[in-house]
Every structure is written in structure tokens, then in C-alpha cells.
Structure 1
Amino acid sequence: MTSTVSTDPHDPLHMNTERRFTVGVEEEFVLIDPDSGEPSLTNTLVAAQPCDVELQLELSRCQIETCTPVCTNIPQLHHEIRQARSAAAAAAARTGSRILATGVPLWAPPPGSITDTPRYHRMAERFGLLAEQVICGCHVHVGLADRELAAQVSNHIRPWLPTLLALTANSPITAGTDTGHASWRHQLWARWPSAGPPPYFDSADHYDEIVADLADSGRILDTRMVYWDVRLSAHLPTIEIRISDVPATTTETALLATLIRALVITSVTALEKGWLAAPVDQTLLQTACHTAARHGLTGPQARTTPGDPVPTHGPTAHLLAYLRPALEESGDYEFARVALTSVLIHGNGAVRQRNAHHTGDLRHVQDVISRLTTQDCDLEPDDTASPW
């Protein structure tokens, strides 16, 4: 993705209040057999289907990933997210399977379900049963070609990671039972040696030194296995935020991307004024992320500074207020306000899965997830109108 960010204070774009930051989204989905509800090990067949979007293989054969094009505004991105989900759902249907937007499958796949590629086999050999897990996330890329700037933006984003996770938690049920966590995916993901909140970086060189140490010590195979919740892309001029479960709906994914892009813009603005982020203790941050994964939107959220937990709705409201200048500048404030209010009233994916589980069996949960995954994806090819 090509960055449109200027860091030259004499560049007119730098002074323009209408600066644009490119944005793109990757979403991972579980493939299931629609009759049995069990994971469908068909990702190579699905990816081979004629499709308007590129479908990519993931670690497990019951996973598929979509990627949007690089977008310059949120309405365009929302349209592309809808198109990608629609195309993936159609490709899956042609193979007799179905996609579900959920952070973990309702039923675990059988052992030995690793996708048949040399790299994934090397991961299985190095990391054993860790590679058998099935976890589906959402990764948001924001154009930022200056790696030095990106390292400092990462520092500014770190304190907001628990709030983003609580907002998008969507994996409470697996192996046929409620895990007691809103985001079980986060708990599974945290077992990887290179996962979790990123460290506080002094510079881009500091970032590279830590990554090199991970590789030299054998904790990662390569830079693609840097699984921090925020990372500098190894092959694109972007900063990538990876904290989220795959959201239940396209609107929630668009909301996540809207908030993340505004976080990047707000961080860049602060850095242009010479405001470095205050360091947040790594243990406090990990604890706050764990609490967000545990409770989602239905319980307290731990602070990233010492103190008692606070109601989750407090940090989300604070985040919207914090980002309001950037959101108003980009024209996205009203969408973010309405979409965020809707999630807080109706619940995120974890709330909806649990509500379905309380009123029905796992088949009912599956049907609810399936409906939410594609509920607003019935687009005509030339439909380019704003989705809100």
C-alpha cells in the first residue's frame, strides 16, 4: 500500500487539513460444512474458485483470508469489505462450504489440518501443537512509509489496544462450549512467542533489533511471524494493527478501520508537535488486554495506568472523543459515532453469539454468525454509493 503521508513540515500536503491516509483491511474466516457445522478443510478449493477478489490460504485448511484494495476513504473501504465478503461467501458456496466471521471455530478441526505449504509445515515442525490452532483476526493497514515515524505511532497506539479488543471481541464459543472469554482467540494467540502488545520502541532501529533477536533466538522463522498487535509491515509502507478478532459484520470492520486510521492520524499530528507517547508498562498493558479479552463489552476494563478497573463503555466513549478532531477532518465522525453507539447498544460479536447460545443450540449460533457475516453484502457490481 502506498502511503500518502508527508512528514516534511514545508510540504503543502503536510499543512493541508484534508490529508489522506490510505487504508486497507485483511479479514480471516472459518470455513464450515453448512450441514454438520464442522470445519471444512477446503481452503485450497475455495481459493481456486473464479473470484472478483484474491482469496489467500491461512495456516489451517478450514481458513480463508480476504484483502481489500488500498482505499483512500472509509466509504470506499466499507464497499470493498462488503464486496470481499460477498465474493468469498460465493466461492465457498460453490465448494459446498460456508464462511463464518468468528475468531475461533465453534468446533475444532481434526488434528493434522495444516495447510499444505512448505512454510506452514516448517511452522508446525518448529512450534508443534501451536500451529494446530484456528484463529481468525482482522488486520488494518494504514499508509505510513516513514518507518521512524511508524515506530513512534506504535507507541501512541499501544494504550488503546485493550479498548479496540473489547469493542471487537467475537470468539466466546469453541469446542461446543462457552469459554468464559469474549475473545478466546486472543488467549490462544497470546501463546505465540512473538504475539501480544508490542514493546515501546525508541526508534525504528530499536524495532529492528528486537525483531532480529526474535529471529536469532529461533522464536520466529522470519519477519512474517512478528505477531505483535501493532507492527511495521515487512513488505508494505504501512503500519499494521492486528489486535482484533474478525468482527461479526462489515459495519463493525469498517468502524474498526475508521478508529484505527483516526488513531494513526491523531498520533502523527501529536508527533508533528513534538509529543512523544508516554511509556505504558508492558505488564499493565498485557493485563489490560487479557481483561478486555475476558469481558469484552460486558465487564470492566483494566487501566493501562495503575488503578482500579473502569466500565468498558468509558474507554470507548473516551476514544471517540479523543479521535473526534481527526474523524471530523476526514468526514467520518458521524459514521463512527452511529456505528459505535449501535455496537454498545446491541453488542459485539461475542454478545450476539452468547445470546444465540442461551436461546438455542450450536446450530442456532452458527446460523446467527452466518447471517451477520454477510447480512449487508448483497451488492450489485456497480454499487459505489456510500454504505451509510
Structure 2
Amino acid sequence: MPNVFVQVFRTPDLRKKLYFTLGIIVLYRVGAHVPIPGVDYQNVQTCVSAVSKGTGLLGLVNQFSGGALLQITVFALGILPYITASIILQLLTVVIPRLEALKKEGAAGQGKITQYTRYLAVGLALLQSTGLVATARSGALFPNCPTAGNIVPDQSIFTTVVMVLTITSGTACVMWFGELITERGIGNGMSMLIFISIASTFPGALWTVKEEGTIAGGWVNFGLVLLIGFAMVGLVVFVEQAQRRIPVQYAKRMIGRKSYGGTATYIPLKINQAGVVPVIFASSLLYIPALVAQFADSSAGWTTWITRNFTRGDHPFYIAAYFLLIVFFAFFYVAITFNPEEVADNIKKAGGFIPGIRAGRATSEYLGYVLNRLTWPGSLYLGLIALVPTVAFASFGGANQLTGTSVLIIVSVGLETVKQINSQVEQHNYTGFLRK
């Protein structure tokens, strides 16, 4: 691994890509600390220091924005609107025939879908920024802070519109940053920005564990959290790299005097075929009841029950609902993103077959059977990664941001980025060999 990074710095074009990526990351982190106009910065800092970061209804969004949400900065929403828009378009591709046709058109159709994703992301950013500004104005963003009502001193319509447009423009700028990294930098830009946002909150969270620890000045708590974190990283790397390879054999074909085909390949099916999407779906869905209860009558019985059972991540009701939703969305997302019938049809058209399995319907049924067997351990793994570390860290205090979801995202993005760097280094070595 060190040799790979040495070769990156020795290669001029890869070195430029790395410096360009680092420059965009610096701009992104600077924008995450620039407050929007109309906000009392001192009151915001007072309220942020008075509450635990990463908790509450907006904890997931705050984590994906690198803590910029609760600071109410220009990049408060981060890249989450684009992620939500991408997931929605991916789901609609299965439902809307026009989008499905665009997906099959190759690069041109994918470019059109990307354009629709941008428009939807801007619309979602406008909606979410309006909700964020309304929550900040009412003081509900920091319910336990006595000065929360003074965060937005000027509550005129003009100031509100400027605040909403500033946050929406910041989201559009973040999307542009991500696309620039993808085109001219290293790795996937959107994934890289998520990686930086989550990783930027880790040092502060670890130090909070040390300060709030009760054993040996907090150093024992600090060490135990690090051990749990390393164990999680090892588990995530092991599962994310694991895959079931289904062999595919292609028959030989004689065209004229030449023979074509006769090759053997495989279909890689990962254990965690759905990635981190089920966790995001489950988290977003669990925020809806608590969000409705926050703006409803607090004296009602159902609002009290929701507030007591669905606002704390370590409550048994919350844990059970979260785990079941993750398992459900894992099967749901795999079912809409991997179509066994389409894969079997493509194999049949190319003259291929799975050894021991008849082409056509039997191949489709076999792929569906294997996929279901893989999805069960994958969904249980996602549920354990998302919940067990959260419950374990809660006993040490102050580790609200050290969730299994964040570790899963960081390790997955890190593995994918390293693979892309390796492929670019190998491509450059082959190119240099051919030139010589």
C-alpha cells in the first residue's frame, strides 16, 4: 500500500489529480464553517456547546454535513439532498418506463438521468433548507437551549428568503464540487465528500469520550472505544470484500473460419449487495414520527409516547424498529436493483450458461435463489453494524457520532477509492511500458 501512494506522487498526472482533490476538500471544509446571513453566530455556538452533537432529529444530516447543519452554515445540508435524489431516481427507474429506457441507452441516457438528479436535488435542497430555517426561527433546532429563540434575530420575509436561497445555493455548489472531483480528481466525488464530512467529526467525538469517561481519567473509555472501532473496521472490510462468484461459460461459435467465445467468467454477487442505502432509508423513516410529534401538541398521549420511545437511539423500541426496517429495506433495494430475469436473458443472448443450469427461466430462478440466500446474512450484518456499536458506545458516553453507519461509510468509500487509485497506477505503468 505505501508503494502505491509513492507511485501516485511520482506520477505527474496522478499527483495533479490528488492535489486538485485536496484543494476541493479544503474549499468544502471552509464553506462548512461560514455562517449564513441572518444568523446570530454567538447564540448558535452557545446552543451547539450546550447539546450533544449528533443527536436529535437532524443527527444523520448533521453527521453527513460534517457538523455544518447545527452550525447553520452555507453548506449546512451538505451532499445529502443529492444522495436522496439519486436514490429516488434509482427507485423510479424501475417504475417509470421512460427512465428505464434512458438507463439502457448507455452514456447519453445516464447523462440525462444525472441531469434529472441535479434538478431533483436542488428542489429537495430548497424544501429542506426551508424546513431548517423554520426550525431555527422557532427555536426547535435546539429545544434544550435557553437562547434558541434568538438564533435568528431578524425574522422578516426578506431575511428568511435570503437564508433559504443561501443554503440551497450552497448545496448546488457542493454538488459541483463532487462532480469536479469525479471528473478531474481521484475517486467518486460525492462519496469522497461524504467521507470527509463524517471523518471530520471523529476526532472531536473521540475526545468527548475521553473527557466524559469515568475510568482512569477517561483514557480507559477512550481505549475501549478505539478497540471496538478497530474490530468494526475489520468486520466491515471482511464482509464488504466477500462475494459469491457464479461461474458463466460461453459456448464457442464458428463465424467463417474464426472461432469466437469459449471463455469462462463469473458474476460477482456481494454479501452486502445493497450497501449503506437500507440504513439511510431506515434512519430517514424513523425520523418522520419524531418530526411530526415535535410540531404537534406536546400534551397529547401519542406525542409523549413517540418522544419517549423514538428519540433515543438506545431505547428498545427504537432498536427493534430500526433493525427490522434495515432488514426490510435491504431486501427491497436488492430486489429493485438486481433483476435476475434481465441478467439471465442477457446471458442467454450472449450465448452463455451457468454450468449445470439450463438457460432462461431456470437460470433466473437460480440467480434469485442465490441472491436471497446472500441477502439474509447481508441484511443481518447491516443491522448489527448499525445498532450494536451505537448501543456499546452509549455506555461510554459522548460517542454519539461514532455510529456503525459512519464507520461503514468511511470503510466502504476508503476501499473503493484505494481500488481506483490502484487501477490508475496500473494503467499508467502499462502505458509507460508500451511507450518504452
TM range, normalised to the smaller chain? under 0.3
Bigger share in strand? 1
TM-score, normalised to structure 2's length?
Answer: 0.25
Bigger share in helix? 2
TM-score, normalised to structure 1's length?
Answer: 0.27
Q: Say which structure, 1 or 2, has more relative contact order (CA 8 Å, 6+ apart).
A: 1
